[in-house]
Amino acid sequence: MALKEEIAKRRTFGIISHPDAGKTTLTEKLLLFGGAIQTAGAVKSNKIKMHARSDWMEIEKQRGISVATSVMGFNYNGKKINLLDTPGHQDFAEDTYRTLTAVDSVIMVIDCVKGVEIQTEKLMEVCRMRKTPVICFINKLDREGRDPYDLLDEIEEKLDIKVRPLSWPISMGKTFKGVYSLYNKTLHLFQPSKTKIEQDGEVIEDIKDPIIDKEVGESYANQLREDVELIEGVYPEFDVNEYLAGNVAPVFFGSAVNNFGVKELLDCFIELAPAPKPRETEERVIAPDENKFSGFIFKIHANMDPNHRNRIAFIRVCAGKFERGANYYHVRSDKKIRFSNVTAFMAQEKELVDEAWPGDIVGLYDTGNLKIGDTISEGEKGIYKGIPSFSPEIFKEVVNKDAMKTKQLEKGLNQLMEEGVAQLFSYELGARKVVGTVGALQFEVIQHRLKHEYGASCDFMSMNLYKACWISSKDKKKLNEFVDSKYRHIAKDKDGKLVFMAESRAWLTMVQDNFPDIEFHFTSEF
Ligand code: G4P
């Protein structure tokens, strides 16, 4: 019974946005409500400022901050909320994609001045792939932004998801009056406050109520009535199941920095957002309330202290109760495994925990046994699905600069890849190794860390590659023939899966046409 209750209490989610839309600010305000922090300004932004792009100390510092803010747990209105942080810098998008595999829902922050930006589009693609329920928060209403109807249309169009406003702004910018909650029919008047927590709104039984005219003035009140009528006419009634299925995104308006609209968002969020749901392994679907524990590793933080090669592996508990010190099963290596040093992340403090429930994230101290994507269980033999690698965008060949340190280079590269810093593709031909990343910054990070943590040095040689495509075929013979005929362009990923390294889009299309029996995939899971 305890298990079912604990599951029902959990809300595990991530906030995504284009940098600067207000993710850090919103995170901070949510933590204020949860009592996890007492003052504003306590959450450090984990974004790497533009001027610090190649400042190594800065990147190292960011790694430190990001381990502290990786997971922020707090209690609010009887719910246990786990907020997973995602890196804002687009070069670390792969990290964000992986974090999104560990959440049950997402809040997407959009800047009302800038609208939907490119990074949001990419992240939304990942949410769509997984059918993750999304709530939109349109931020910065204290600025002259775009017309709310335009913003909603843009979200539908660019993010390919239907929207349903659950609150509506009364003007914006200098004349911003507040928001009307269509969800629980309350009026919230805007009072800028960077430090205080907003009060409950005023309940308005009837939109015609003259109290609205008194509060915001007659013309704004009439505009609001028109808007509400239009919205109720144009948008179908909000259906929570459509949201839970990832088809409709409820939309809220507010101003995070002014702590406005945030409480409403949070109150609706804990009511609407899903508790942990069943998840699929290679063998079957596992419900969170199954008695036996299982979970998967989605993030690894390594070598925070270069003198101690310890790493923290972040596991998402999917089913059953996790207990510190218990004997578990490491599916990939087919071995028993025990964790005695386990931390949970509450209110930005790391604390030792003895147990965790589905939806929780715990940090396991590891000496190098764990990899991203690993499943740990109480006997379950299937590996959790849904933690794919995506084709990188930039590829460079590794050139060893110090032949005496070849072993160190290999070890360092392997460990950094296990940590998910980048992807390594090994060609049989000439034993060439190619690193693939989403952004350019990772190459500098890899070089720096190889040198400082492993004493190895390498160069990267640019390669003209378009995509890495994982290949498969129902016909084994055809696959072998393909590999033989294209052996110069075939590599293996970290798990030994076959990858076709395509040089250009046109060439890939041609190869696809010529080999209809081969399937080409842009993610490692198919
Ligand atoms: P990010 O994590 O998504 O990158 O964004 P972040 O919260 O750091 O916010 C980016 C900038 O937008 C910050 O200003 C922040 O204060 C501002 N901001 C956030 N919410 C609002 C809002 O509701 N209204 C307005 N007008 N601004 C908002 P900054 O100048 O970059 O940093 P700071 O010095 O103010 O911290």
Share of the chain above pLDDT 90, in %: 58
- Whether this prediction's pTM lies above 0.95 is answered by no
The answer to whether 66 and 87 have CB atoms below 8 angstroms apart is: yes
122 is in an annotated binding site: no
Q: Is 21 in the pocket of ligand 1 (CB under 6 A)?
A: yes
Q: How far is the CA of 11 from the centre of ligand 1 (A)?
A: 25
The answer to whether 470 and 521 have CB atoms below 8 angstroms apart is: yes
* Mutational test site, ligand 1, from 15, 16, 20, max ligand atoms within 8 Å of CB: 20
Rg, C-alpha atoms of the chain: 25
Nearest to 85 by CA among 97, 94, 96: 96
The answer to whether 375 and 296 have CB atoms below 8 angstroms apart is: yes
Which residues, other chains included, contact 525 with Cβ-Cβ below 8 Å and sequence gap of 6+?
Answer: 385, 386, 387, 388
Task: Encode pLDDT of 451-487 as tens digits.
Answer: 988 999 999 999 999 999 999 999 999 999 999 999 9
- Alpha-carbon gap, residue 290 to 180, rounded angstroms: 42
- Alpha-carbon gap, residue 38 to 42, rounded angstroms: 8
- Alpha-carbon gap, residue 516 to 287, rounded angstroms: 38
Hey, whose CA ends up nearest to atom 11 of ligand 1? 20
The answer to whether 244 and 269 have CB atoms below 8 angstroms apart is: no
CA angle, 190 then 239 then 253, to 5°? 20
Q: What is the number of other CB atoms lying within 10 angstroms of the CB of residue 294?
A: 28
Q: What is the number of other CB atoms lying within 10 angstroms of the CB of residue 355?
A: 16
- Alpha-carbon gap, residue 336 to 338, rounded angstroms: 7
Q: Is 169 in the pocket of ligand 1 (CB under 6 A)?
A: no
* Mutational test site, ligand 1, from 65, 257, 259, max ligand atoms within 8 Å of CB: 257
Q: Is 405 in the pocket of ligand 1 (CB under 6 A)?
A: no
Q: Is 27 in the pocket of ligand 1 (CB under 6 A)?
A: no
Task: Encode pLDDT of 75-106 as tens digits.
Answer: 999 999 999 988 766 777 788 888 999 999 99
Q: Is 197 left (phi over 0), alpha (psi -120 to 50) or beta?
A: beta
89 is in an annotated binding site: yes
The answer to whether 92 and 439 have CB atoms below 8 angstroms apart is: yes
Q: Is 143 in the pocket of ligand 1 (CB under 6 A)?
A: yes
The answer to whether 141 and 50 have CB atoms below 8 angstroms apart is: no
**Per-10-residue mean pLDDT, the chain, length 526:** 93 92 89 71 51 51 60 90 81 82 96 92 87 96 95 95 95 92 87 63 79 89 94 94 97 93 91 96 96 95 66 93 96 94 69 89 89 94 86 93 91 87 89 89 87 91 94 96 95 92 95 96 84
**Residue 110 bridge partners (DSSP):** 138
Closest ligand 1 atom to residue 26 Cα is 7
The answer to whether 445 and 421 have CB atoms below 8 angstroms apart is: yes
- Alpha-carbon gap, residue 170 to 516, rounded angstroms: 56
pLDDT of amino acid 48: 44
Q: How far is the CA of 460 from the centre of ligand 1 (A)?
A: 36
Q: Sign (positive/negative) of CA torsion 58, 32, 138, 96?
A: positive
Phi, psi (degrees; rounded to nearest 5) at 490: -110, 130
Provide, for the chain, the percentages of residues in helix, strand and coil under a 3-state DSSP scheme, each rounded to the nearest 5: 35, 30, 35
Closest ligand 1 atom to residue 46 Cα is 2
- Alpha-carbon gap, residue 240 to 367, rounded angstroms: 44
302 is in an annotated binding site: no
452 is in an annotated binding site: no
